[in-house]
């Protein structure tokens, strides 16, 4: 979709151009606009280019049939016609289209009734005052980015394996259409179910927040788990072996984080970022990750860093000094160890998950023995490490986290 498409007959500026928007990370062709005077965002370094109107949607018959099956409608609108039918300005329609991550379609009739309905719904939320215009664009962008990754994964990993020719002489394309026809309704229902479940969980966390500020800037425990020596490993493994290792690592981490009450924020190949509402949960997840992967001979060693403090959450990601500190702690941790910052160590002591010090724990045990009472039990032990400078964060005093040995009952 593009805002240079000002008439359905194709009367347009012969040399339309536009600055690149800041959101060009997925390297798709940048949509274009004739007049950017009303655009809310101005990039720092404008780059102008001509529109390649030859880069239109595929005319391959099977591709068109699959598109119609998936979208449930035929191509019938140009960008201008879709915007006019939806009652949306071309400027707003173009920004929605860009935000969802789709390239310029020029003057091609490539849009369907579903596209018109989506534009109408999103703009309707703005008109009703339920969303501001920038928020609506943000909704389009976050949804587009999330579903783009999901769709790529399903095509690359899921459908590719399932569409191997079942019989000699059959091509993969010959089995693709009936397979998609069978899978589409089931996957769609499952996607909506998972989204509702995740939305319910996220809403619950917001409702439990102490105040409005805490909904955006919250105190969380943030952990980074990083495979040691991964770069060297990439030089030795074949691409398929490397892909299998990364998938096994991400799957193991995702399962453990979810099972013990954390939230997986993102995966970065050899590294995962997770967070938890309390320090004890984050600490338990970190140790479980170390313990689980250390027993897998196919996996490199792991190291984890955790920090506790105020975190800014936006579009499913986390930002701030606490996140940066957790990353730095991971980079200085030895293999198969967990380093935490002073704030998380203090929080573990406050909640009774770890002793303030080993000396105090020993004194408590001695006192309990004399009085014939049961000594306090702790899940974790903390060992102070040498203070050291951390790039961009000054001097920090990390603590090494471990499981506390159970007292001898003999």
> What would the pLDDT profile of 296-342 be if each residue is shown by its tens digit?
888 899 999 999 999 988 777 889 999 999 999 999 999 999 999 99
> Can you tell me the distance from the alpha carbon of 405 to that of 379, in angstroms, rounded to the nearest whole number?
8
> Can you tell me the distance from the alpha carbon of 55 to that of 2, in angstroms, rounded to the nearest whole number?
13
369 has a pLDDT exceeding 60: yes
267 has a pLDDT exceeding 60: yes
The model's confidence at residue 1, banded by pLDDT at 50, 70 and 90, is low
Question: Which residues, other chains included, contact 52 with Cβ-Cβ below 8 Å and sequence gap of 6+?
Answer: 29, 106
For the whole model, what pTM was predicted? 0.65
Q: How many other C-beta atoms lie within 10 A of the C-beta of residue 294?
A: 13
Per-residue pLDDT at 54:
38
The model's confidence at residue 216, banded by pLDDT at 50, 70 and 90, is low
Axis crossing angle, helix 113-127 with helix 79-86, rounded to the nearest 10: 50
Contact 272, 281 (CB under 8 A): no
Per-residue pLDDT at 297:
85
> Can you tell me the distance from the alpha carbon of 134 to that of 311, in angstroms, rounded to the nearest whole number?
23
At 178 the three-state DSSP class reads helix
What are the helix and strand counts (H, E) for the chain? 14, 10
Per-residue pLDDT at 353:
92
Contact 159, 176 (CB under 8 A): yes
> Can you tell me the distance from the alpha carbon of 305 to that of 326, in angstroms, rounded to the nearest whole number?
5
> What would the pLDDT profile of 79-95 be if each residue is shown by its tens digit?
899 999 999 999 888 88
Nearest CA-CA partner of 202 in 215, 189, 187 = 215
At 382 the three-state DSSP class reads strand
> Can you tell me the distance from the alpha carbon of 172 to that of 155, in angstroms, rounded to the nearest whole number?
13
At 358 the three-state DSSP class reads helix
> Can you tell me the distance from the alpha carbon of 136 to that of 120, in angstroms, rounded to the nearest whole number?
12
Nearest CA-CA partner of 325 in 346, 306, 343 = 306
Residue 158 DSSP class: I
Phi, psi of 407, rounded to the nearest 5 degrees: -65, 145
Average pLDDT of the segment spanning 343-347: 95
The mean pLDDT of the chain is 79
Q: How many CA atoms lie within 13 A of 351 on its CB side?
A: 13
């Amino acid at each position: 979709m593009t805002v240079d498409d000002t008439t359905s007959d194709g009367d347009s500026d012969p040399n339309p151009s536009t600055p690149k928007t800041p959101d060009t990370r997925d390297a798709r062709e940048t949509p274009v606009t004739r007049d950017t005077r009303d655009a809310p965002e101005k990039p720092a370094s404008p780059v102008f280019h001509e529109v390649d109107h030859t880069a239109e949607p595929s005319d391959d018959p099977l591709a068109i049939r699959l598109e119609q099956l998936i979208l449930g409608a035929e191509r019938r609108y140009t960008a201008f016609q879709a915007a006019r039918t939806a009652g949306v300005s071309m400027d707003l329609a173009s920004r929605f289209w860009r935000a969802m991550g789709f390239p310029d379609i020029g003057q091609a009739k490539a849009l369907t009734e579903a596209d018109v309905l989506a534009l109408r719904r999103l703009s309707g939320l703005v008109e009703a005052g339920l969303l501001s215009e920038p928020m609506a664009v943000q909704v389009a962008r976050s949804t587009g980015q999330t579903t783009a990754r999901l769709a790529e994964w399903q095509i690359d990993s899921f459908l590719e394996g399932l569409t191997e020719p079942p019989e000699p002489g059959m091509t993969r394309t010959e089995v693709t259409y009936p397979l998609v026809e069978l899978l589409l309704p089931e996957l769609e229902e499952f996607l909506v179910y998972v989204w509702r479940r995740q939305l319910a969980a996220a809403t619950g966390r917001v409702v439990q927040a102490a105040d409005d500020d805490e909904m955006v800037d919250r105190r969380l425990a943030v952990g980074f788990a990083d495979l040691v020596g991964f770069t060297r490993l990439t030089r030795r493994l074949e691409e398929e072996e490397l892909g299998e290792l990364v998938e096994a690592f991400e799957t193991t981490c995702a399962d453990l984080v979810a099972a013990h009450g954390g939230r997986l924020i993102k995966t970065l190949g050899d590294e995962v970022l997770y967070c938890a509402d309390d320090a004890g949960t984050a600490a338990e997840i970190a140790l479980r990750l170390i313990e689980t992967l250390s027993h897998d001979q196919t996996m490199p060693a792991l190291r984890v860093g955790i920090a506790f403090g105020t975190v800014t959450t936006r579009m499913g990601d986390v930002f701030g000094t606490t996140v940066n500190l957790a990353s730095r702690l991971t980079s200085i941790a030895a293999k198969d160890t967990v380093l935490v910052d002073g704030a998380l160590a203090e929080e573990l002591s406050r909640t009774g998950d770890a002793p303030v010090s080993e000396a105090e724990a020993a004194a408590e045990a001695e006192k309990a023995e004399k009085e014939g009472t049961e000594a306090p039990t702790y899940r974790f032990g903390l060992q102070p490490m040498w203070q050291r400078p951390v790039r961009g964060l000054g001097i920090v005093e990390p603590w090494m986290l471990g499981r506390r040995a159970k007292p001898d009952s003999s």
